[in-house]
Amino acid sequence: MPPVRPRVPLVVLAIFAGLLASVWLAGLYAERRHWSELDIEARGQLELYAQSLRILVERFRALPAIIALDTEIQALLQESSDPSARERLNRRLQRLNREAGVGVIFLLDLQGTAIAASNWREPGNFVGGNYAFRPYFQGALREGSARYFGVGATTGVPGYFLSRAVRDAGGRTLGVLALKLVMEDLQRDWAGQPGILLVVDRQAVAILASRPAWRFRLLQEPAAAEPPRPVDARRYGIREVRPLALQPLRPLDGGGELLRIDGPEGRRDYLRLSQPLADEGWTLELLREARVPGAAVRSYGLAAAGIWLALAFLFLFLGQRQKNRRLLLRRRAELERLVEERTAALRKAQDELVQAAKMAALGQMSAALAHEINQPLTAMRMQLGSLQLLLAKNDPAAMRTCLERIDGLLTRMAALTGHLKTFARDTPGGLRERLALDTVVDHALLLLEARIRQDAVRVLRLRAPRAWVEGNAIRFEQVLVNLLHNALDAMAGRARRELRIALRRDGGDWLLSVADSGGGIAAEHLLRVFEPFFTTKPVGEGLGLGLAVSYGIVRESGGQMEVGNTGDGAQFVIRLPAAAPPDTLQAGSQEG
Ligand code: ADP
């Protein structure tokens, strides 16, 4: 099949392309799923961290304001020279600090000098130190309160400073109360958690980090193409703030982002989630290492490949089946058309054969017919001669007898020629009518009457006027003429010449038998007599078509024909399904 060939590689190519595409898409899907799962997990984690940070700051937010209301503090600020009062305050701050769990609580006068501190007894304590330059001091003087993250000037420990201006009843500022929150513990708690947690301040510097190497690094966003602002490194207690270049890869559906960082642990890809802490002006950043799960991608790809191949083969199979079915239907239609054509051709050939056989029979009959017609003509000429004599004698009675004889002779001749005409007519095999078998036998005998008389054949008949069958009368007549003809041929030159034609009922059929005394058919010929062109007669006399055509005619009418030997001759039996008589009365009148 030439149109199929070029399609095969195309199909293979399409399947292969589909395979690649499905594996690729499945990988993409697996990755996306992984990211979204990770995103959800990380978001929960981030929310938790934000909460703990918020709680920590919140707990201490009000504390400076409350302590600032203390009258003892106000009194000391107004009269700071009393050493015993100073020590009392130191002790109080120490106790407060211990109970609240803050880092350090300390009090500054208007010049920024610490006059009391909770760590007054510790080495490197704040007392006496001047913090006028610190933003939390300046902010509190300016705005009443301030917050500031920075490394302690004295201790070098980073902390979150919360400050509050101390005012007297008249609203006059006396000094500043400050509180330093040390967040190292919180940071240590984070260390064991998955991912890298960063608290980034307004300057984009990580002030807290779950991994120490990330602390005090500058997160450099590439979007900010402007030159990085100079960062005050002293504030964080280090010499230089080293930047970390963030290279964004792509945003994720959940609001996260994939980015690449040349971090302390080398160049890695991270999933980054941020949450702003608006009150402090910080941003909480969570970085989760973004390793695409190879196993998941592989198994998704494998599953997709399997599904794709199964579908592709299913479609191929269905397509092939459809094609086969179409082909089969087309072949069947072609075959049916062929059978119809052949049947029509066969029918036509058969009709032609029947006609040819009939003509052959007519040819065989012609000699007898010439004799048949010649005889009455001679007889009539004699009768006419007698008539002339009788006319002279004027004997009307004898003349009438003479004329009656002539009339009889003419009637016979008319009947014979009429039959011959009908017999010779070509009748299509399809024609069917109801007919009486007796009449068919009558007509056939009439056609062969001359020969029968000439050969002095005795005809014995068993009639059955109710023997009605369906079929074509002319064709049945042809069958009978054939049978009778063969019988007469067989009996020619035999001492006993007897023809027995009988009609009998057998169940739902009529049996028409024609038997002769012609010596029968040789056993080896019995099976062959119905074959076309089988003849034992000399060339020119027999065509071997008569019985073959007769057999065909009987079969076509739904009947059967058999041959055998009985007594001293052959017997042909035709079996035809009985038809209902057209009218019982009419059938009755024909009887007898
Ligand atoms: P044809 O008569 O042209 O030979 P048929 O088909 O009518 O062709 O007959 C075929 C042969 O069957 C005859 O040649 C003859 O040998 C044999 N046959 C037919 N009828 C008889 C019969 N009644 N008795 C003996 N032989 C017969």
Q: What share of the chain is helix, strand, coil (3-state, %, to 5)?
A: 50, 20, 25
Token representation of residue 20: 């690649």
Name, of 104-108, 352-356, 360-364, the range with top average pLDDT: 104-108
110 and 174 assigned to the same domain: yes
**349 CA to middle of ligand 1, Å?**
22
Are 131 and 109 in contact, with CB atoms under 8 Å apart?
no
pLDDT tens digits, 59-77:
888 888 888 888 888 888 8
Say yes or no: CB of residue 552 within 6 Å of ligand 1.
Answer: no
Own/partner pairs for 95-102, CB < 8 Å, 24+ apart?
A: 96/67, 100/60, 100/63, 102/60, 102/63, 102/179, 102/180, 102/181, 102/182
Instruction: Please state, as a whole number, how many other Cβ atoms lie within 10 Å of the Cβ of residue 55.
Output: 9
Say yes or no: CB of residue 193 within 6 Å of ligand 1.
Answer: no
In a domain, 591, yes or no: no
338 and 283 assigned to the same domain: no
Distance in angstroms (rounded) separating the CA atoms of residues 267 and 285:
18
pLDDT at 221 (0 to 100): 77
70 and 192 assigned to the same domain: no
How does residue 227 score in pLDDT terms, banded at 50, 70 and 90? low
pLDDT tens digits, 79-121:
767 788 888 888 888 998 888 888 899 999 889 899 889 988 8
pLDDT tens digits, 532-578:
778 898 876 777 778 988 898 898 889 999 999 998 999 999 999 99
Note the maximum CA span of the chain: 206
pLDDT tens digits, 137-186:
999 999 988 988 888 777 778 888 999 999 888 888 889 999 998 888 77
Say yes or no: CB of residue 301 within 6 Å of ligand 1.
Answer: no
How many residues belong to the chain?
Answer: 592
How does residue 2 score in pLDDT terms, banded at 50, 70 and 90? very low
pLDDT at 424 (0 to 100): 67
Distance in angstroms (rounded) separating the CA atoms of residues 440 and 476:
7
Question: What is the gyration radius of the CA atoms in the chain, in angstroms?
Answer: 66
Distance in angstroms (rounded) separating the CA atoms of residues 317 and 140:
83
In a domain, 45, yes or no: no
pLDDT at 578 (0 to 100): 95
The full DSSP string for 436-474 is: EHHHHHHHHHHHTHHHHHHTT-EEEEE--TT-EEEE-HH
Instruction: Please state, as a whole number, how many other Cβ atoms lie within 10 Å of the Cβ of residue 393.
Output: 10
Instruction: Select from 494, 528, 547 the residue to mutate for testing ligand 1; criterion: most ligand atoms less than 8 Å from CB.
Output: 547
Higher per-residue confidence, 361 vs 506: 506
The set of residues, in sequence order, having a beta carbon less than 8 Å from that of 518 and lying 6+ positions away, is: 487, 489, 490, 491, 494, 569, 570
Token representation of residue 446: 């009439």
User: The domain that contains 550 carries what CATH number?
Assistant: 3.30.565.10
Closest CA to 312 of 579, 16, 8: 16
User: The domain that contains 235 carries what CATH number?
Assistant: 3.30.450.20
Look at ligand 1, atom 13, and give the residue with the nearest C-alpha: 535
Look at ligand 1, atom 14, and give the residue with the nearest C-alpha: 535
Are 451 and 375 in contact, with CB atoms under 8 Å apart?
no
- Give me the number of domains the chain comprises: 4
Q: How many alpha carbons lie under 13 Å from residue 403 in its C-beta half-sphere?
A: 9
Instruction: Please state, as a whole number, how many other Cβ atoms lie within 10 Å of the Cβ of residue 295.
Output: 8
Q: How many alpha carbons lie under 13 Å from residue 382 in its C-beta half-sphere?
A: 8
Look at ligand 1, atom 26, and give the residue with the nearest C-alpha: 521
Q: Is the pLDDT of residue 419 over 70?
A: no
In a domain, 400, yes or no: yes
Say yes or no: CB of residue 534 within 6 Å of ligand 1.
Answer: yes
H or E stretch covering 578: none
Single residue among 380, 397, 421 that ends a domain in this structure? 421
In a domain, 54, yes or no: no
304 and 286 assigned to the same domain: no
The residues pairing with 459 across neighbouring beta strands, listed in sequence order, are 499
In a domain, 255, yes or no: yes
Higher per-residue confidence, 125 vs 554: 554
* Mean of per-residue pLDDT scores for the chain: 85
Say yes or no: CB of residue 521 within 6 Å of ligand 1.
Answer: yes
Model pTM score: 0.49
306 and 317 assigned to the same domain: yes
Say yes or no: CB of residue 481 within 6 Å of ligand 1.
Answer: no
Say yes or no: CB of residue 487 within 6 Å of ligand 1.
Answer: yes
pLDDT tens digits, 212-226:
888 888 887 776 556
How does residue 467 score in pLDDT terms, banded at 50, 70 and 90? very high
454 and 549 assigned to the same domain: yes
Name, of 119-128, 294-303, 418-427, 455-464, the range with top average pLDDT: 455-464
Single residue among 268, 291, 314 that ends a domain in this structure? 291
The full DSSP string for 320-376 is: HHHHHHHHHHHHHHHHHHHHHHHHHHHHHHHHHHHHHHHHHHHHHHHHHHHHHHHHH
pLDDT tens digits, 509-531:
999 999 999 999 999 999 899 98
In a domain, 498, yes or no: yes
377 and 460 assigned to the same domain: no
Instruction: Select from 484, 486, 550, 562 the residue to mutate for testing ligand 1; criterion: most ligand atoms less than 8 Å from CB.
Output: 486
Are 461 and 498 in contact, with CB atoms under 8 Å apart?
no
In a domain, 554, yes or no: yes
Are 389 and 399 in contact, with CB atoms under 8 Å apart?
no
Q: How many alpha carbons lie under 13 Å from residue 444 in its C-beta half-sphere?
A: 27
pLDDT at 430 (0 to 100): 62
Own/partner pairs for 582-591, CB < 8 Å, 24+ apart?
A: 582/434, 582/468, 587/465, 587/466, 587/468, 590/436, 590/438, 590/465, 591/465, 591/466
Closest CA to 404 of 387, 388, 389: 387
- Specify whether the backbone of 430 is left (phi greater than 0), alpha (psi in -120 to 50) or beta: alpha
Range 314-334 average pLDDT: 94
199 and 179 assigned to the same domain: no
Which residues constitute the domain of residue 263? Answer: 184-222+230-291
pLDDT at 409 (0 to 100): 84
Are 586 and 466 in contact, with CB atoms under 8 Å apart?
no
320 and 401 assigned to the same domain: yes
**Residue % of the chain over a pLDDT of 70:** 92
In a domain, 258, yes or no: yes
CA 244 to chain centre: 56
